[in-house]
A and B are shown apart, each in its own frame.
Chain A
Amino acid sequence: MGIELKDIKKSFGTPPTQVIRGISLNIELGEFVSFVGRSGCGKSTLLYIMSTLDEPTSGQVMIDGKEVTTLEQSELHLFRNLQMGFVFQFHHLLPELSAIENILMPAMKAKRSGERRPYAISLMEEFGLKDRLDHLPSQLSGGEQQRVAIARALVMEPKYLFADEPTGNLDSANGNGVMSLFKRVNKERRMSVIFVTHDTEFSKMATRRIEMSDGLLVS
């Protein structure tokens, strides 16, 4: 169980330049992992590969014991829909939808929006967004938007939460808020949280800190 990477390599462009140069790594279910490293060292690239959004040039990605490349497209979609949540540096909320509708978008895909609605509302309450249910993203502050995006990632109660610089666009107060949210869902819901950050303070909040340099693991 968990995520298992075996000798992952990834190159871009012609002539190919290797960005990930052979990384093997195990992340157990329920771990709270941070990735740090210099800009351009390949953190985002690795995160997208282990979260099935991108494919490695060579190597194996196993999630819950299944090799990702052998999965059917539909299985992959189902997997992303039910087992994974993503948070990006930019919130990527749909501007036409209200906060609660945005949060329920993954549930809508699974045709379970009715069933997940109470949970979505409880998430909003938990995140201090109780009276923002029907606000449009443009009517929310940056921190509120990011919290809505996190609630959206959590609404299906996935096993894995991937975040790429979730605090990158926030001030330190809001950033702290997001990090403590991550810590809570990891602790209380035993969710595996895997995030990339530039902030050393935040990276120390993780139970496991992985440093990268130039496409390889340092520690």
Chain B
Amino acid sequence: MLFLALRHLLSRKRQSLLTLVGILLGTAAYIAISGMMLGFQTFIIDQLINNDAHVRISAREDVITEHSLDADFFGQDALVHWLTPPAGRRDNAYILYPRAWTDRMESSPEVSAYAEQMIAQAIVSRAKVSTAARVIGVDPTKQIQVTNIQSYMTKGSFLDIGMSGNRILVGDGLLNKLGATVPETLMLSVGKGVAQSFKVVGSFHLGVKNADDTLIYGALTDIQTLNATPSRVSDIAVRLTNVEDAGSLASSWNILSQEKVQSWDQANEGIMSVFTTQDIVRNSMTISILIVAGFGIYNILSMAVNQKRREIAILRSMGYEAKDIVTLFLAQGLLLGAVGGLVGCLVGYGVCEVMARIPVANRGMGGNHMTIVFFPGIYGRGFLLAFLSAGFASFLPARAAGKLSPIEVIRGENS
């Protein structure tokens, strides 16, 4: 029946072509939009994962509430009513037993690397200009195993920080704000301590404005000294062998400890929910295009079934069965779906190729072009969407054709 189905389609060239174009556009749009949106998501996720950590363990910022001191002062069972309830925050946040964590890291097979960090808010100043900065003290050899910072360096190497010696790396946005250049000395001060001078030995550009405008990396011991918290650690950044484990691992660690453990996606919930919205928009748009194309198929097939009543009847009288007739029309819809889906994939691929060449300013390591995803799954899904919607659309007319009673038709024609 396939060859007859093909002949039917070819005998209605214009209709078939129009329907084909509908399916093709739906598929191509799905692929192009998916490629672009997923590319954008991949880019952002890349930034989120690689610039920070798969999992971050940080000291809990303990806020004191009305009853959090009751037990310390009055014992477990006391019912306390404060005239002036206590409020405030506990002293500098740090991880109480970093050793316990590092032991756990060493024994966890999922962990590929980790780095202790001391993160402090500081004021950085050069001559009369000063601004706020987020200073991260790290062991550079450990840090470059946790993040890809090394490949975002615009000047110098991440290892130039060394283990001590007041050398720092500064985000290029921050350098600009200060009007500073690379071999230069800046003053850093943390709230209570005295200002210390640090030598800028390199700069980086992560492509995330917020980070590039505020981040400073220094050696762990230097920053601990600056912050007047020697040998304390505020965070541990962890890299996993498999990013997918981040969420579940973070959740299970979170229960085990009093520190706050967050995976990269938990930390960026807002962004992740934007992605979900994007996915919904992308899918619903594609589905609506395909519904329109599906209605096209439904229409032309319904019309064809009506026009071909006599031929259906004569085929039946020749011994063709109802299921042959169903196949005849279903095959037409599926052919349109398959060809439209296939060509749509190709067109979508072409559009993606073109989009991938669109230059986008300064994106750090991702190159200076739009990130487009060419994941085969997108193409598979695009094709399947086209094929299945065509199948659904042709199912009803095909079934109607199969149910057509040949004798009714013949009687109507030859009376």
Contacts and interface: CB of A to CB of B under 8 A. Distances in A.
Q: Do A and B bind each other?
A: yes
Interface of A: 44-45, 48, 53-54, 73-74, 77-82, 84, 86, 88-90, 92, 94-97, 105-106, 109-110, 152, 164-165, 168
Interface string B1-29: 00010011011000000000000000000
A77 B413 contact: no
Given A81-B318, A81-B319, A48 B411 contact: yes
Given A92-B310, A96-B11, A152-B318, 11 more contacts: A80-B319, A81-B319, A82-B319, A86-B314, A89-B414, A94-B311, A94-B314, A95-B311, A96-B7, A96-B8, A109-B320
Nearest to B5: A96
B313 to A, nearest CB: 7
B321 interface: yes
A90 B318 contact: no
A12 B354 CA distance: 67
Nearest to A106: B318
A30 to B, nearest CB: 22
A218 B109 CA distance: 98
Contacts of B413: 88-90, 92
Main secondary structure of the interface of B (DSSP, over half): helix
A17 to B, nearest CB: 15
Contact of A164 (B4, B11, B319, B414): B414
Given A97-B4, A164-B414, A92 B321 contact: no
B102 interface: no
Given A92-B310, A96-B10, A96-B11, A44 B411 contact: yes
B410 interface: yes
Interface in B295-326: 310-311, 313-315, 317-321, 324
Nearest to A53: B407
B318 A80 contact: yes
Interface in B68-84: none
Nearest to B314: A92
A53 B318 CA distance: 10
Nearest to A91: B314
B387 to A, nearest CB: 24
Contact-residue bracket for chain B? 20 to 34
B411 A77 contact: no
Contacts of B319: 77-82, 84, 106, 109-110
Contacts of A97: 4, 7
Contacts of B4: 94, 96-97
Interface string B100-126: 000000000000000000000000000
Interface in B271-315: 310-311, 313-315
A217 B221 CA distance: 116
A54 B407 contact: yes
Nearest to B414: A89
A48 B311 CA distance: 17
24 contacts: A44-B414, A45-B411, A48-B407, A53-B410, A77-B319, A77-B320, A77-B321, A80-B318, A81-B318, A81-B320, A88-B314, A89-B413, A89-B414, A90-B414, A92-B310, A92-B311, A94-B315, A106-B319, A109-B318, A109-B320, A109-B324, A110-B319, A164-B414, A168-B414
Contacts of B391: none
A109 B317 CA distance: 12
Contacts of B411: 44-45, 48, 54
A80 B311 CA distance: 16
Nearest to A85: B318
A164 B410 CA distance: 10
B406 interface: yes
A45 B412 CA distance: 12
Nearest to A12: B411
B257 interface: no
A54 B410 CA distance: 10
A73 B321 CA distance: 9
